[in-house]
Amino acid sequence: MVVRAGPFRDIASLGDFERAVGGIAGVQEAYVRSFAGDRALLELRLAGELDLVGELRRALAWELRVVDSGPGELEIGLGS
């Protein structure tokens, strides 16, 4: 699963996001594949079916909106 997310104000906030996503039950692995400007591309390995958007909303301290989604990919916008 590929997740495009942002904006991130700095690399520390991206690290917080990566750790939060990696801590979701059902996410076996989460790592940042690229980071440019204030946007990141993350690769997730999921254990199976997962309501990823719902789990992200529960796990994150940021407001989240779905910008785009498709098979195997999700783009989210993050707010405060």
- CB within 8 Å of 58: residues ≥ 6 apart: none
Which phi and psi (to 5°) does residue 57 adopt?
-60, -35
- Per-residue confidence band for 51, with pLDDT thresholds at 50, 70 and 90: very high
Strand partners, 78: 64
| pLDDT value, residue 24 | 96
What's the confidence (pLDDT) of residue 72?
94
The average pLDDT across 7-24 equals 95
CB atoms within 10 A of CB 60: 17
pLDDT for the residue 52: 94
User: Can you tell me the distance from the alpha carbon of 40 to that of 26, in angstroms, rounded to the nearest whole number?
Assistant: 21
Look at residue 71 in the predicted model and tell me its pLDDT.
94
Asked if residue 29 lies in contact with residue 45, where contact means CB atoms within 8 angstroms, the answer is: yes
